[in-house]
Amino acid sequence: MIERTTARGRGRLPGVLLAVATAAACVVPAADAQRSPAKRPVQKGGVYSTPGYKGTRTLPRTGPAPAPPSVALSADGWKPDVLVDAAGTAHVVWVTNAPAPGNDQISYCRLPRGATACANPNTTPFDPALTPSADFAGPRILQVGDGLVVLTSRYPAVVQHPDGQTRDRTLYAYTSTDGGQTWSPPTIVGTQEASGDAVVFGGAAPRLGVISDTQTGGTVFQSVVPGQYSRATALLGPGDQAYDGSLALEGDQPVAAFADLSGNTIVRRLPAGADPADAAAWTSTVVPGAEEPRLASGPRGPFLLSRAGLRAPYEVRPLTGGAVGAPVPLALPDLATGSQRELAQDPAGALHAVFADAIGTTLLASDSTDGGRSWSPPRTAAIAQGAFDGLRSAAAADGGGVTVYRKDPTGLTSGTIGLSAFGTLSPTGVPGLGALAGGGIPGATAGCDGVRVGDLQIRPQQGCLLPSVDPKYPGASVSEGEVDLMGLILRPDPGVRILLDPRRARLDTTGKVRVLLRGAGLEVTLLHEELHIQFPDTREGGTLLDFDPADVKLAGFPISGRIKVLLTRTGVRIPVQLSLPGAFGGITGDATLLAELGKGVTLDSVKLAVKRAPVGPLEVRDLLISYSGGTETWRGAALVVLPGGAALGADVTFVGGRFTMGDFRVRPPFPGVLIAPNTYFTEVRGGFALDPVQIKVGASFGAFPIAPPSTYTVGVDGDLTLTIDGGSVLLRFDGRGSIAGISLATAALQATTDGYADLTAGYDVDLKAVRVKGSIEGFLDGRRGQFGAKGSADVELAGFLPATGSRAAISNKGFGACYTVAGAGAYVGYLFDKPIPSGVRIGVGCDLTAFTIERPGLRLAPRQVPGGRTFTVTAGTKIQNVELNAAAGSPAVTLIGPDGATVTPADARTTGSFAGPAVALPLPDAARTLVVLNDPKPGVWTVAPAPDSPAITELLVARDAKPVKVTATVTRRGARRVLRYRIADRGGAVVRFSEQGARAAVASLGTATGDRGTLAFTPADGPGGRRQIVALVSRGDLPLSAPVVATYTAPAPQRPATVRGVRARRTSGAVTVRWRAAARATGYVVRVRGRSSGRTLARVLGSRSRSVRITGVSADDGRLTVTVTGRDRRGRLGRASTVRVR
C-alpha cells in the first residue's frame, strides 16, 4: 500500500535504540543460514544503486512547500522575545500596551513543543502596577542556571532607585525557579533600556548584560549582577554609532555589535577580568559594508548576520578568536530582502537564520549545520497579510525551535503575537527548566508532510518536501534538506536534492548524500554516495540498504564487513561487526543497531559484547561495555584470565576504539587467587592496559602459604607490573616484602605465570638476639614448592659487637648468615616455623653441625649440680657452641669439664672477643646465653647455674664442621642439560641445586643424593643467555651457604610448531574445525572470520583439544577463513595454519 501521511496524523513514533548480541553466541535460525544471498547492490564510482535500476538525476517541477502553521499567542501586543529550553519548550514574553497614562503589561507564555496553546492559562502573571509607565524597549527573557529572568525597561515614570536617587529610566527584573510557573515580585536592577539585546555572561559568576538600539548619544551597555542594583554604564558607540545594538558570547565574555550611519558594523569584545563599565577596556573592530547587524552565539562561537545595503542578500560571518571571518551570503529571494532579520545558534552549534522579503509579508528561513560554510535553500517560515517585525528565534540542541514575531500590525504598538515552529517536533527526551517535562510529536517536522511506501516512512528534517507538479512524477516530492528514512538521516551535500517517488517505490539523489546514524552524542556516517534505490521489499524484514562501508567507526570502534540495513515495523535494524583493538587479535564484537523514526540513540542501549578474546597469553572473557555518550568513551566490565586459570574481575574503559585502562580490586579469602603453582594474589588493586599488555597495580603477593590469615613463605605488598614481552608474561612486584611474616625493607619480585620467580630484596630484621640487614637474590619454583636465595648480611650482635664480611642464604625452612665478629667467624640462623626468638640460632663458626637439643638426665655428670645440664663434646671438636635458654633473662653459669676442672666463661661484652677457653655472650632480649668453647676436651661437660641465675629451660649444642665444597659442570644432551656435581666434606649437609637467569628464568633442579652424581634438566623457560647454577647448602633445616657452582648458556625459547592437518566443515549455523597436535603447544587459538560480514569469532582451547564447533555462523558471513594457531603456556603463538570454507 502506498500512501502520503502527515506528521501529526500518524501520532507518536518510537525513538532510536541499540541492542547487542554476544559476539560468540549469536545463533541465527537455520533458514537464514541456508538461504542464498540475494544479488547485491552496485557500488561504483561513488554511486550506490539497486541491482537492475540505473536511477535518474532529473527532478520534476515542484510547487512551493507550505509554510508551517502560525500559533497566535495574543491579538494585541508587540516586542516579543523567546527562549527555548532543553525540553524544546518555548518561553515567550511580549508587551501589551495600556492606554495612556496606564502601565504596560508584560505577558508570558510557556508553550511545550508541538502545542498550540500556552501551558500557563494566565499569560499575564506580572502586575503592571509594580512596574509603572511604558516599556518601549520590549521585555527580554534569559536563562540563569536553572532559573528564568525577565527584564522590562520603564520610561518616563520617575521612581526612587536603591541608591536613593530618583530616575525616569528603570530596569526591572522578575525571576522564576520553577520553569515559569511562579514569579518573584520585580526588583530594580539597573537604569539602561534593553532595547537592543540582553545576554547572560560570566560563567560561574553570572552577570546580565543589556544594550541599547537607536538611543540618543550612542550605543550604551550595562552590566548587572542578578538580584543587585547597578547604575554604571559603558558608552560603547558614541555619536552616530547608535543603531541595531546586539549581544552574544565568546566563551563566557560578551561581544557587542552595532551600526553607524556610514554602512559599518562595529564589533567590540570585553576581555576576561575587565570592568564591563569601562568602555576603554573593550576591544573594537570595524566591519565595513555590514549594516543592520544581528549576533548569535553558541558552541561554535559568535556569528554576525548583516547585509551590505537595502535589498542586498544577508550574509553570515564568524567572529571567533577576535577575527572577522569571510561572509557567506544567504540565497537572495525573488523579492530581495527586507529589514526584518534574526539569527540564532542552537546548543549543538547549528545556525538558524530568518529574514523577510522586501515586501515584508513573507518570512524565509535557512539553516547551516557546518558552522555557516553552507546554507540550506530558503524555505517559507511564515506568511502574513500585512507585515512582520520583532523577529526573535531560539532552538533546542536537536535543531527544533521557534520564531516569534508581531504580524499584521494594527497600530504602532499593537498586532498579533505569532509563533512558528521549525525543525523537528519530536520530544527531546530531557526535562526543561524547573525539571518540567517537555512535549513533542515523535517523528514529526514542523508543518511538513512525509511519504510512505508500504511499511517504509520518510519524513523531512530541514524544511518541508516540495510537492511535484510534473505529470510525469505524480505524487513525488523533492527534499532540499535532510530527511529521516526510518531512523536513518539522509543529509545531502550542498546543492544536492533528494527525489522521493512513492508510487514507483524509488529514491534518487542528484549527487552524494550522507547516510547518518544520529543521537545520544553519536553522528556516524555509514555511507557517503549518490543513491539510486528501487525499494524491492518495503515490508518488515526487507533489505533497505546493503553496502561495503569505507572506514566507518561507531564511537571509535571500526565497523568491519558489510552493513545491511533491514526494515522493522517502526524503523531499521542494522547488524554490525565492531573490530576490537589489535591487542585482541582481530576479534570482533556483534552489535545490532535499532533505529526508529524521530529519536536518537538512547545511551543505555549502546552496548558491545564479546564472549571470549585472546590477548597474547591472557584471555578476556565476558566483555560487556556501554557507550557513555559524546566522547567516544565506552565503559564496562570483563574477566581477565591469566595463564594457569587465575581470573581477575575488572572494570574496563575504551576511548576512541582503543583500550585505555582497566581497574580491579580483589581481596579473596586465604590463601588467595592462584596465579601459578603455590603462588597467589592475596589482594589486587589498580589498573591495567592491553595495547601493549601491561598491568600496573598495587598488589599483595604470596608464595607457599603457611598459615591464615596472611602468612606466606614469601610475600610482597606494593606495586605490581605485569608485562607481555615477546610472548612472555612477566610479573614484577616492587614494594615491601616479607619472608615467613618477617618484613623486608624493600622487595622486587619478578615472576612468570608458570610458577617461576626471582626475588631481590633489601631487609632489616630484628631477631631479638641479633639484628640482621642486607640484600638477597633468590628464586621461587612454584611447581616443585621450592624457594632459595643468596645474598649479603650486616649483623649487629647483642647491640654492641659489629660484624663484617657477611654472606646469607635462605631456603623454604629458614634463613642463615655467616659473618665475622670479634675476629671470629660466626653464624646466625632462623627457622621459619618457629617464633622469634625461639627459632633463632646463633653460634661461632660459619659451617656448623645442626643445632641439637641435649635432654636433661640422659647423661650423669661427675658431680650432681642442682639445676645443671650436661652435654658431650666429641673428639676433634675445635669449637663447641652451647645455647642456654631460659624463660626470662640470660642464664649465668660455670662449666665443669670432663676432668672435673671448673671453667668460668669470660664475658664477651667485656673482652670484645670470642677468644679464650670459654666465652659467654648473654642475650637478655632473647632470654638466652651463648657459651663458646674453643678446643674443648672431649667428654661430658656440666653446666652449673649461678645462685641468682634464671633456670635453664633448654640446652642446644652445635659444633664446627668442615666447609662443604661443591663443584659442578653443565653439559648438553639434545634439548636438555646435564648437571654433574661433586660434594666434598658433606658431613650430613643437604645440597639443593637451582638455575637462575635473567627475567625470572629460574627453577629448582633437584637435591643431591650422594657426594657425586648427575641431574638432567630442561632449561627454564625464559630469554636465552647466561644462567647460573646455585647450590643451597643447609643442615638441620638451616641454610649455611648458596655458592654459584657452574654456569651455562641457555638457548632462546622455541615457539609452538605449526599446526598441521587443519580441516573445517560448515554446517547449519556453525563450523566444525579439526587439527593434529603441534609440538610445544600447550593450547590452541581457533579463529573464524566471515569475508562478507567481517565477523571474527575465537576460541582458546587446551592442549588436549583437537576439534571445536563454533556457532554463530550465518549465510551473511560469506566465505569463511579459519586459522588454528598453537599457543604455549606463556601465550606465545606459533605460525597459523589457514583453511577457507565456502
Q: What is the pLDDT of residues 549-580, one digit of tens each?
A: 878 888 788 888 888 999 988 888 888 888 87
In this model, does residue 185 exceed pLDDT 90? yes
* Predicted pLDDT at 527: 94
Which of 74-83, 411-420, 435-444 has the highest average model confidence (pLDDT)? 74-83
Which has more pLDDT, 796 or 65? 65
- Domains of the chain, with CATH numbers? 2-63+448-598 (no CATH), 71-435 (2.120.10.70), 849-959 (2.60.120), 1063-1141 (2.60.40.10)
Q: What amino acid occupies position 1025? A: G
Please, what's the b/e burial string for 825-861 (b: 16 or more CB within 10 A of its CB; e: otherwise)?
bbbbbbbbeeebbebbbbbbbbbbbbbeebeeeeeeb
867-888, pLDDT tens digit by residue?
889 999 999 999 999 999 999 9
**What is the rounded average pLDDT of the residues 904-915?**
87
Which has more pLDDT, 1114 or 193? 193
Which has more pLDDT, 962 or 743? 962
**What is the rounded average pLDDT of the residues 910-938?**
90
Q: Which residues contact 861 (CB under 8 A, 6 or more apart)?
A: 868, 870, 896, 940, 942
599-635, pLDDT tens digit by residue?
766 555 567 777 777 776 677 888 888 776 656 787 7
Q: Give the β-pairing of 1083-1090 and 1044-1050.
A: unpaired
Whole-number mean pLDDT of the chain?
A: 83
In this model, does residue 93 exceed pLDDT 50? yes
Please, what's the b/e burial string for 295-305 (b: 16 or more CB within 10 A of its CB; e: otherwise)?
bbbbebbbbbb
* Predicted pLDDT at 6: 36
In this model, does residue 719 exceed pLDDT 50? yes
Q: Which residues contact 723 (CB under 8 A, 6 or more apart)?
A: 692, 693, 694, 695, 729, 730, 732
* Predicted pLDDT at 15: 33
DSSP 1077-1098: --TT-SEEEEEEEETTT--EEE
**What is the rounded average pLDDT of the residues 38-44?**
82
Contact by Cβ (8 Å): 923, 769 = yes
107-148, pLDDT tens digit by residue?
999 999 999 999 998 788 898 889 999 999 999 999 999 999
- The whole-angstrom separation of Cα 834 and Cα 830 is 8
In this model, does residue 325 exceed pLDDT 50? yes
CA distance readout (Å), 811 to 529, 718, 788, 832, 1136: 73, 23, 4, 9, 43
Q: Give the β-pairing of 187-190 and 658-666.
A: unpaired
Q: What amino acid occupies position 573? A: R
Q: What amino acid occupies position 1042? A: A
Nine cell digits for residue 208? 546580565
SS3 278: coil
* Predicted pLDDT at 27: 28
- The whole-angstrom separation of Cα 78 and Cα 69 is 20
Under the banding of pLDDT at 50, 70 and 90, the label for residue 4 is: very low
pTM of the model: 0.59
* Predicted pLDDT at 688: 55
995-1048, pLDDT tens digit by residue?
887 665 677 899 999 999 999 998 887 778 899 999 989 888 888 888 999 999
Closest CA to 719 of 695, 743, 698: 698
Q: Cell 532510536: give the residue.
A: 16
- The whole-angstrom separation of Cα 441 and Cα 59 is 31
In this model, does residue 895 exceed pLDDT 90? yes
Closest CA to 685 of 673, 677, 693, 676: 673
**What is the rounded average pLDDT of the residues 957-981?**
92
* Predicted pLDDT at 782: 57
**What is the rounded average pLDDT of the residues 57-64?**
92
In this model, does residue 738 exceed pLDDT 70? no
- The whole-angstrom separation of Cα 543 and Cα 534 is 11
Closest CA to 106 of 85, 84, 130: 130
337-375, pLDDT tens digit by residue?
999 999 999 999 999 999 999 999 999 999 998 999 999
In this model, does residue 1058 exceed pLDDT 90? yes
In this model, does residue 674 exceed pLDDT 70? no
Which has more pLDDT, 206 or 691? 206
How many C-beta atoms surround the C-beta of residue 902 within 10 A?
Answer: 11
678-687, pLDDT tens digit by residue?
555 555 555 5
In this model, does residue 676 exceed pLDDT 60? no
In this model, does residue 324 exceed pLDDT 90? yes
In this model, does residue 500 exceed pLDDT 90? yes
Q: Cell 670459654: give the residue.
A: 918
Entry field: residues in the chain = 1142
Under the banding of pLDDT at 50, 70 and 90, the label for residue 91 is: very high
Contact by Cβ (8 Å): 249, 269 = no
Under the banding of pLDDT at 50, 70 and 90, the label for residue 843 is: confident
Reduced 3-state DSSP string for 313-375: CEEEEECHHHCCCCCEECCCCCCCEEEEEEEEECCCCCEEEEEEECCCCEEEEEEECCCCCCC
768-814, pLDDT tens digit by residue?
777 777 777 766 665 566 666 677 767 777 665 556 667 777 777 78
Percentage of residues in the chain having pLDDT higher than 70 = 81
* Predicted pLDDT at 833: 75
